[in-house]
């Protein structure tokens, strides 16, 4: 079996550059300068339930927490796309990046001071999710948290985890900032587990370049969560990339057709 390449110094520099050039959405509460912000990476949550339909949920849950925490001005969240690029580049499997040592190394490559890992560990009678907040420099586990809720109230799990992580990161809110952060979370809510799983499936298909399947899934999610800004932005991103990919494919086919008709066309 071919050994996967190690995450080396060159990739570390690349990761730092990617984070610097692709920041998370503009924070809403407690604006801080970029130098003062704590940089946080949220890794994909593992599925330890043994239930296959929950397999993609960890990717969506990570995106939901990134979106939630991006509403805090004193934090800078590493975009999920940067994490996915690194996973693809290093050909990491789920078991690879769930390994504590690898998780820390990924956090360091992404220039994150803190990394959040976790797993979905139960589904009956409630969905239960565990999370850990780790300081990448010291490898110290700063906080562990668990949250549980019924499938029709999945948003309560996301809320509880967000609140626990804010406490672990020692975020100090004014009353106004807390209200603003809560409104930010509410604008991005996904209510139930079925919709959260479909959202996760849409992200997974998108990452694989399966735009038609991703559009079908995100359209379903948009009908189920029409008020979610996060869902709306994800839908627009998938749609735009799907249109661009379709246009590129069409142009490639036309060029191929013309090369077959026009002498010397392959030199154009």
Q: What pLDDT does residue 21 have?
A: 35
pLDDT at 217 over 60: yes
- Residue in 99, 83, 110 with CA at minimum distance from that of residue 13: 110
Contact 106, 40 (CB under 8 A): no
User: In the predicted model, what is the mean pLDDT of the chain?
Assistant: 85
How high is the pLDDT of residue 264?
Answer: 58
- Which pLDDT score, from 0 to 100, does residue 35 have? 62
With cut-offs at 50, 70 and 90, classify the pLDDT of residue 205: very high
This prediction has a pTM of 0.81
12 or 108, which is more confident? 108
Residues above pLDDT 90, as percent of the chain: 68
* Of 241, 217, 244, residue with least CA distance to 60: 217
Assigned token pair, 94: 């789920």
Q: For the domain with range 9-189, which CATH number is right: 3.40.50.10610, 3.30.70.2860, 3.30.565.10, 3.90.550.10?
A: 3.40.50.10610
Section 155-179 average pLDDT: 92
What confidence score (pLDDT) does residue 119 get? 94
**Secondary structure of 22-72 in HEC code, one letter for each residue:** CCCCCCCECCCCHHHCEEEEECCCEECCCCHHHCCHHHHHHHHHHHHHCCE
Helix pair angle (100-109, 80-90), 10° resolution: 120
The more confident residue out of 251 and 49 is 49
Of residues 265 and 55, which shows the higher confidence score?
55
pLDDT tens-digit readout, 67-122: 999 999 999 999 999 999 999 998 887 767 678 889 999 999 999 999 999 999 98
Mean pLDDT of 19-45: 63
- Are 130 and 119 in contact by the 8 Å Cβ rule? The answer is yes
Contacts of 38 (CB under 8 A, 6+ apart): 74, 75, 76, 113, 114, 169
> At residue 256, does pLDDT exceed 80?
no
CA distances from 55 to 1, 85, 119, 125, 204 (A): 25, 20, 11, 18, 10
Greater pLDDT, 133 or 266: 133
Positive or negative torsion for Cα 201, 203, 209, 213? positive
What pLDDT is recorded for position 265?
53
Q: What is the distance between the alpha carbons of residues 208 and 214, in angstroms, rounded to a whole number?
A: 9
- For residue 268, pLDDT over 80 is answered with no
- More confident of the two residues 1 and 253: 253
| CA-wise closest residue to 209 among 168, 158, 259, 249 | 249
Residue 266, pLDDT > 80, answer no
Residues 120-165: tens digit of each pLDDT: 998 888 999 999 999 999 999 999 999 999 999 999 999 999 999 9
């Amino acid at each position: 079996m071919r050994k996967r390449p190690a995450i080396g110094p060159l990739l570390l520099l690349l990761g730092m550059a990617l984070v610097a050039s692709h920041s998370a959405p503009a924070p809403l509460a407690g604006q801080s300068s970029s130098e003062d912000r704590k940089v946080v990476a949220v890794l994909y949550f593992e599925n330890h339930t043994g239930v296959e339909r929950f397999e993609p949920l960890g990717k969506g849950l990570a995106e939901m927490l990134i979106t939630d925490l991006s509403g805090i001005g004193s934090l800078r969240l590493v975009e999920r796309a940067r994490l996915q690029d690194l996973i693809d580049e290093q050909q990491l499997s789920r078991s690879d990046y769930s390994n504590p040592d690898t998780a820390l190394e990924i956090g360091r490559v992404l220039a994150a001071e803190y990394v959040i890992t976790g797993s979905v560990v139960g589904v009956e009678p409630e969905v239960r999710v565990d999370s850990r907040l780790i300081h990448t420099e010291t490898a110290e586990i700063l906080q562990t948290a668990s949250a549980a809720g019924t499938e029709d109230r999945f948003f309560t799990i996301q809320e509880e985890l967000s609140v626990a992580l804010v406490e672990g990161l020692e975020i100090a809110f004014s009353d106004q900032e807390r209200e603003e952060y809560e409104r930010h979370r509410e604008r991005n809510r996904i209510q139930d587990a079925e919709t959260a799983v479909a959202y996760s499936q849409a992200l997974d298909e998108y990452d694989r370049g399966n735009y038609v399947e991703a559009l079908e899934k995100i359209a379903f999610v948009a009908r189920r969560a029409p008020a979610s800004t996060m869902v709306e932005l994800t839908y627009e991103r998938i749609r735009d990339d799907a249109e661009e990919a379709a246009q590129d494919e069409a142009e490639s086919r036309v060029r191929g057709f013309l090369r077959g008709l026009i002498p010397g066309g392959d030199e154009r």
